[in-house]
């Protein structure tokens, strides 16, 4: 009896080891893709950049008591001092360099307050004609269309695969969230 008791306490059986290995294999196959996928991080990071750029534009409009124009498209979000955004009236990036990725509106000017999404991230305006792809913050920080009209709210959506990060600009206060 002592021999059979000692035999049972020595370790795991081969069946138990195989079951554990199969379970660990299944869990790692499922968790590996979620753990090492960059799409969620890229979407969240770009959404944070867009929010920071919009907030900077609003604060700059209030601080300098002048309108700051925001240009939006699928390839970038940019800030300018005038309705016609040229190289002479671009808002300088407060950090000294933008997220230039070689395409879109940001061009090659790295000092411009312009952010571009990573390769696997897209920026969608909702509705597509919202703000006619640009608007401005007036000296009070309130968003306006170029015609001077107010809009109810501007909805942006940052997409990367299945991950979506919504961004809104409220019309009355210019609050970006």
Residues 18 and 44 in one domain: no
The larger pLDDT score, comparing residue 33 to residue 173, is at 173
Residues 23 and 67 in one domain: no
| Both tokens assigned to 84 | 């016609």
Q: Is the peptide bond before 127 cis (omega within 30 degrees of 0)?
A: yes
The larger pLDDT score, comparing residue 152 to residue 55, is at 55
Rounded to 5, what percent of the chain is helix, strand, coil?
35, 25, 40
Residues 159 and 84 in one domain: yes
- pLDDT recorded at residue 62: 94
- Are 86 and 38 contacting, i.e. CB atoms less than 8 angstroms apart? no
The answer to whether residue 163 scores a pLDDT higher than 90 is no
- pLDDT recorded at residue 56: 93
Residues 75 and 11 in one domain: no
The answer to whether residue 137 scores a pLDDT higher than 60 is yes
The confidence band for 68, taking pLDDT boundaries of 50, 70 and 90, is very high
Query: For 2, left (φ over 0), alpha (ψ -120 to 50), or beta?
Result: alpha
What is the C-alpha end-to-end distance of the chain, expressed in Å? 72
| Both tokens assigned to 73 | 């498209």
- pLDDT recorded at residue 148: 65
- pLDDT recorded at residue 132: 56
Residues 8 and 68 in one domain: no
Q: Is there a domain that residue 175 lies in?
A: no
Q: Is there a domain that residue 177 lies in?
A: no
Render pLDDT for 10-67 as a digit per residue (tens, 0 to 9). Answer: 788 899 999 999 999 888 887 776 666 677 788 888 899 899 999 999 999 999 999 9
Residues 82 and 97 in one domain: yes
| Both tokens assigned to 87 | 């190289």
- Are 109 and 99 contacting, i.e. CB atoms less than 8 angstroms apart? no
Write the CATH number for 150.
3.55.40.10
Residues 14 and 63 in one domain: no
- pLDDT recorded at residue 76: 83
Q: Mean of the pLDDT values across residues 156-164?
A: 84
Q: Is there a domain that residue 176 lies in?
A: no
The larger pLDDT score, comparing residue 96 to residue 73, is at 73
- Print the domain residue range for 116: 40-170
Q: What burial class does residue 121 get, using C-beta atoms within 10 Å of its C-beta: 0-12 exposed, 13-18 middle, 19+ buried?
A: buried
Residues 9 and 57 in one domain: no
Q: Is there a domain that residue 53 lies in?
A: yes
The larger pLDDT score, comparing residue 32 to residue 165, is at 165
| Both tokens assigned to 70 | 């925001």
pTM to 2 decimal places: 0.74
- Measuring CA to CA, how many Å separate 156 from each of 46, 96, 126, 131? 12, 25, 6, 11
- Measuring CA to CA, how many Å separate 144 from each of 35, 81, 89, 92? 42, 14, 19, 22
- Measuring CA to CA, how many Å separate 48 from each of 1, 41, 113? 68, 10, 14
Cα(101)–Cα(99) distance, rounded to whole angstroms? 6
The larger pLDDT score, comparing residue 83 to residue 97, is at 83
| Both tokens assigned to 7 | 């035999």
Q: Is there a domain that residue 50 lies in?
A: yes
Our count of domains for the chain comes to: 2
């Amino acid at each position: 009896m002592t021999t059979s008791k000692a035999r049972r306490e020595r370790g795991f059986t081969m069946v138990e080891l195989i079951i554990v290995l199969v379970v660990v294999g299944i869990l790692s196959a499922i968790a590996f893709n979620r753990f090492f996928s960059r799409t969620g991080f890229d979407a969240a990071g770009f959404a944070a950049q867009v929010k920071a750029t919009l907030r900077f534009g609003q604060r700059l409009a209030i601080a300098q008591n002048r309108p700051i124009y925001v240009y939006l498209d699928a390839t970038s979000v940019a800030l300018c001092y005038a309705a016609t955004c040229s190289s002479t009236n671009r808002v300088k990036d407060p950090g000294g360099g933008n997220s230039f990725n070689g395409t879109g509106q940001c061009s090659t000017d790295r000092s411009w307050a312009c952010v571009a999404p990573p390769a696997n991230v897209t920026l969608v305006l909702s509705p597509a004609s919202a703000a006619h792809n640009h608007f401005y913050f007036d000296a009070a920080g309130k968003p306006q269309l170029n015609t001077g009209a107010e809009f109810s709210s501007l909805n942006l959506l940052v997409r990367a695969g299945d991950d979506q990060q919504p961004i809104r600009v409220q019309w009355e206060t210019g609050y970006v969230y």
